[in-house]
Structure 1
Amino acid sequence: MAWYAMLLAAPLLLAAAWVVDTGIRLARNYASVRTIGVPIRMIPISPLNPFWVLLDRKVLSVLRRLPFGDNSFTRYNWRGWEISDRYRSHYEMGDIWVLVTPLKNWVYVNDPEALMSVFRRGTDFPRPVFVSEVLNIFGPNIATAEGHQWKTQRRVATRCFNEQNNEIVWVESITLAGDMLRYWTSKTSLASAAADLRTLSLHVLSRAGFGKSFKFVGHDERDASANPASNYKVSLQIILENCILILAFGTKFIANPWLPRNFRIVHEAWVAFHAYMTNLYEEEKRNFAEGKTSDHNLMTLLIRASQDEAKTSGGLTESEIYGNMFAFNFAGHDTTANTFTFTMYFIAAHPDVQDWLSEEIRAVAGDRQPNEWDYRADFPRLKRCLAVLFETMRLYTPVPVIKWTGDHAQPLTVGDRTIVIPPQCMISPSYGSVQTDPRYWGTDSLVWRPSRWIKAGRAGDEEMDLHTRGAFIGWSEGTRDCPGRKFSQVEFVATLAVLFRDWRVSPVLNEGESIASARKRVMNLIKNDSGTVLLLQMLHPERAPLTWSRR
């Protein structure tokens, strides 16, 4: 009987121990920031807690129904709260405030000048690489390196993302977008735009990253049973679509034979992709040694830049090359695909923007077919297409960057005050707030309006209006900004130009629904059914099927 009582008491004792430990940690962290003179809120669970990440939405959806359901815990203790909150918290508490958690204190900043200072002072405010070290599944990379190692990787990466590679991105995006458009326009309605946009993004990465072209295959035509070892594309696709398994459990654990079959398939994909990169690495080293020219894909450029770098500073190791190729693919796939998806549904709800885009594309391209478009001449003129990307990322930045103070306190001027932020504090640029704050974006700051990025002029000869520096930080800023910024812009602009020169997209009408009501429904879906899984995305875009028609 005593053993039975102890068994029953064990969960209560564990819960009590967790409560006490959490209370001690919160008190310690609160004490470290209470004297800096900014508003403070507290939550009981760290946003970096991997178990809470799996449960947050479900648990809080229940708690919000309770009488005490409106509090800091339900407001701030879930992934993606910043998008729902926008600038509300900063308008309540000012341009800087602190969220105390049991693991770290999070300092939220909404001031553009302060944010630019954080990004410029890379030594004072480094990236917390302990957050991103889970990306080391193939080796160290630019997202996880620090100090001298990071500087070497950054120099090599910068040489890879060049104009020759951007031209490959342009040509491949145009080809794939044309194939995707033919597939979409052959269907009465399209239920899986998100899946097809992921395919396009993957195939662009295949060509620009590894020199391998694949024909576009629509979602309804895919072979779901493809073996992960059948080719490079299938293995990479499986890895990218199941990243959360690898990041949560590691590559060794998911190989255990007693796990469900889908775990082992992901491990087989990891093995196959690693073998593919190894073969390509050895082949390119031989080509380099023999003086042979190669394609300007990222893998080739990375290897050759590393070989050149080795003459002076040691270059990259083999595992660092594999790690960076995975980081490039990971960063470039989901971010681009999710942004494409948001964009497609925004555009479907805004026929005026479609007309505005078509006007520019026709002014730039004339009667030339897409395969005749020239990257160096045409891309710089497609400012409206680029404005659509900027406006979508302004409202729905897919992967916000965070900084921290490391082991030293750091001063930061916010407005007319200089605040000393204690050591070990996370610095969170408030993307959801600063990029929608009416002080910088006007009274319609929450409205998706791409024209806000364009200065007056004729279609095809306009200039971008980049607004207040630091109020838009979609690709980060400073020395650790995104090296693939232009890569993503070229892919996006080329795809949009193909899709909207001659075609329109609209939401499929429900029975008895007007087109105005259907567009409003799509906008409500974007607003109310978006959230963070691995990155920010539309959760159920299939709830708003689309249809295409020729102009």
Structure 2
Amino acid sequence: MNTSHCCARLVALNTRSSFVKKYRRGWECRERYHTHEEHGELFTSCRPGGNYVKIGNFDVADDILRRKDDFGRDLEAFAVLNIYGKNLAPNEGKEWMKHRKVAAVTFTEKNADLVWCEALKEASQMLCYWLERAKKPIRTLAQDTQIFSLNVLAAAPFDRSYSFKGREEGKLRNEAIGSDAKDGASGYRDTIATIPQMILPMMIFGERKLRESWWLPNSWQNAGHAVANFRDYVTHLIDEERVAIAQGQATSPTWSRTSFNTDSSSESRAILIKDEIISDLIVFALASNDTTALTLAYILAELAAHASIQDWISEEIRHYTTTEDVTKWEYTTCIELKRCWAVMYETLRLSHPINQLVKNTGAKPRSITHKGATFLTPSHTTVEINLPSLSTMPSHCGSDRLEWNSKRFITSKHQYPDKFEDEKIPPDTSTFFAWAYSRLVCPGKRVSQAELIGALAALFRDHRVDPVTEVGETMQ
């Protein structure tokens, strides 16, 4: 057994171009497998803030994900999410299990059904908004998909439904009525959009000092108000939910409803206090909003560049939906739309909104075995599983690995199947884990899938998206 004190090879970067290429935030998505092809499937990047072991091998990634006691989350990094109190992210052990149990109970098929219905409604409204502006290019794609996702997220926790208002329309409306008169949807969306951008000032100064310190920048003061507004907003909804539960009126599934039950007769029951519910809700919102919104924006951009795939999924959507009325589309339709699932999978393969799964060796050195050689990785070392590299490795993905081809995820008994039922989607495996897997699988996996497939179904049943060329551009 070969053992060294630093995992694999160290990367020395002496030129400015190399520094920008491999150290600038998000470089993994731009470089994909090329950096690992140059430096090896495992290499260590040394920075002033610490050492980072980059993983570009499926077997090693699988081993690290399964060794939960050796490679845990970086709790210090996640501590910035303790805005309101304890939550799922910055905890391990019993505390983590308590929050995870509640998440597992609330992220169910019933909740996915609710999200499916809301996604259909919101996507239909977003489509109408775009059609009204069809004579002009839509230049707010990512912002509009974020509003779409935020509105769906507002429905999931507390069964509240908001009408879609596009980025430009909402901005003009808020300017006209003033910031103090925003509706519930605008206030909720603005809060969720503000908090992640100002997470470090919140951690350093705290909510109260941000709000009350006149000498701080306005954007920082607004962040303090956003924290308070979200707490007030959610507290009001929680109080309404508790009254509805007490009166036997709460029947639809939501993220939070199972947390309100105060019956502690069962030792196995996971009960959260109000601040923990609020804290978990903000984490769920932050974690799921940008990821889903960005993925949808990527999907729409890819489909604009692949007109034949739009026809391909439209054929399937029309086969399973016999009416234009989206309120008639059952959740079972979501499972049947295999081509839409293939589009979602292929987009996540090439453009995953999260560049890496981040782990930490903790207080002890940890061993990593790669192709028969074992390396001892020092304590307090960050280990990053490089998703864009793994999904484009030449050894696993073929010669067309950098081409967006959603049909790679479809298998069939026949080359040209007569029945859509012949087509199948392969299950998640250790070589494709967009939502992670096993114990660490994303609790909102099914919900995010229902949201994305619902959006595709509503948008592409009867409509198409085309790219608009800028000056000097060709369609190619």
Do the structures match in fold with TM over 0.5? yes
The whole-number CA distance in structure 2 between the counterparts of 1:106 and 1:496 is: 38
Deviation at 1:444, TM superposition (A): 0.8
Larger mean CA deviation between 307-316 and 261-270 belongs to 307-316
Tell me the equivalent position of 2:300.
344
SS in 1 for 2:77: helix
- Ranked by relative contact order (alpha carbons within 8 Å, sequence separation 6 or more), the top structure is 2
Q: Does 1:357 align with 2:307?
A: no
Residues 77/487 of structure 1: CA separation in 2 closer, same or farther (3 Å cut): same
The residue identity in structure 2 corresponding to 1:173 is A
Tell me the equivalent position of 1:489.
449
The whole-number CA distance in structure 2 between the counterparts of 1:307 and 1:436 is: 50
Give matches, 1:88-167, under 5 Å. 88-167=34-113
Larger mean CA deviation between 494-503 and 233-242 belongs to 233-242
Unpaired stretches in structure 1, ≥5 consecutive residues: 1-32, 44-66, 521-551
Deviation at 1:367, TM superposition (A): 4.1
The whole-number CA distance in structure 2 between the counterparts of 1:425 and 1:461 is: 47
Deviation at 1:131, TM superposition (A): 1.2
SS in 2 for 1:402: strand
Contact kept? 2:365, 2:376, Cα under 8 Å: yes
SS in 2 for 1:278: helix
CA-to-partner distance for each residue in 1:254-312, whole Å, 9 max, x for gaps? 312233434333322321220122223334344445555343121223334x7569754
The whole-number CA distance in structure 2 between the counterparts of 1:369 and 1:276 is: 32
The whole-number CA distance in structure 2 between the counterparts of 1:102 and 1:270 is: 32
The whole-number CA distance in structure 2 between the counterparts of 1:321 and 1:115 is: 32
The whole-number CA distance in structure 2 between the counterparts of 1:159 and 1:98 is: 39
Deviation at 1:486, TM superposition (A): 0.8
SS in 2 for 1:320: helix
1:219 corresponds to which of 167, 170, 174: 167
The whole-number CA distance in structure 2 between the counterparts of 1:391 and 1:371 is: 28
Contact kept? 2:153, 2:289, Cα under 8 Å: yes
* Bigger CA radius of gyration: 1
Normalised by the length of structure 1, the TM-score is: 0.78
SS in 1 for 2:43: strand
Residues 175/289 of structure 1: CA separation in 2 closer, same or farther (3 Å cut): closer
Contact kept? 2:367, 2:376, Cα under 8 Å: yes
The residue identity in structure 2 corresponding to 1:146 is E
Residues 484/88 of structure 1: CA separation in 2 closer, same or farther (3 Å cut): same
1:386 corresponds to which of 335, 338, 341: 341
Tell me the equivalent position of 2:216.
259
Residues 429/37 of structure 1: CA separation in 2 closer, same or farther (3 Å cut): closer
Contact kept? 2:58, 2:390, Cα under 8 Å: yes
The residue identity in structure 2 corresponding to 1:87 is Y
Contact kept? 1:454, 1:462, Cα under 8 Å: yes
Q: Does 1:445 align with 2:392?
A: no
Deviation at 1:314, TM superposition (A): 6.0
Q: Does 1:69 align with 2:16?
A: yes
2:186 corresponds to which of 207, 211, 234: 234
SS in 1 for 2:139: coil
Tell me the equivalent position of 2:8.
38
The whole-number CA distance in structure 1 between the counterparts of 2:147 and 2:470 is: 28
Residues 362/436 of structure 1: CA separation in 2 closer, same or farther (3 Å cut): same
Tell me the equivalent position of 1:51.
none
Tell me the equivalent position of 1:427.
383
Identity among equivalent pairs (%) = 30
Deviation at 1:419, TM superposition (A): 2.6
Contact kept? 1:194, 1:341, Cα under 8 Å: yes
| Coordinate RMSD, CA, aligned | 2.4
Deviation at 1:424, TM superposition (A): 1.2
Give matches, 1:219-368, under 5 Å. 219-222=167-170, 223-225=173-175, 226-227=178-179, 230-250=182-202, 251-255=207-211, 256-289=213-246, 292-304=249-261, 311-312=267-268, 315-367=271-323
SS in 2 for 1:97: strand
Unpaired stretches in structure 2, ≥5 consecutive residues: none
Tell me the equivalent position of 2:461.
501
The whole-number CA distance in structure 2 between the counterparts of 1:283 and 1:303 is: 11
Deviation at 1:371, TM superposition (A): 1.8
Contact kept? 2:367, 2:377, Cα under 8 Å: yes
Deviation at 1:214, TM superposition (A): 0.8
Deviation at 1:438, TM superposition (A): 1.7
SS in 2 for 1:252: helix
Contact kept? 1:228, 1:234, Cα under 8 Å: no
Tell me the equivalent position of 1:459.
420
The residue identity in structure 2 corresponding to 1:370 is V
SS in 2 for 1:242: helix
Contact kept? 2:119, 2:451, Cα under 8 Å: yes
Deviation at 1:313, TM superposition (A): 5.7
Residues 346/37 of structure 1: CA separation in 2 closer, same or farther (3 Å cut): closer
Residues 314/363 of structure 1: CA separation in 2 closer, same or farther (3 Å cut): closer
Deviation at 1:481, TM superposition (A): 2.2
Larger mean CA deviation between 238-247 and 225-234 belongs to 225-234
CA-to-partner distance for each residue in 1:451-503, whole Å, 9 max, x for gaps? 11111254354211358x33323212332221001111000001101111111
The whole-number CA distance in structure 2 between the counterparts of 1:351 and 1:207 is: 32
Deviation at 1:110, TM superposition (A): 1.4
Contact kept? 1:122, 1:478, Cα under 8 Å: no
CA-to-partner distance for each residue in 1:1-28, whole Å, 9 max, x for gaps? xxxxxxxxxxxxxxxxxxxxxxxxxxxx
The whole-number CA distance in structure 2 between the counterparts of 1:144 and 1:118 is: 19
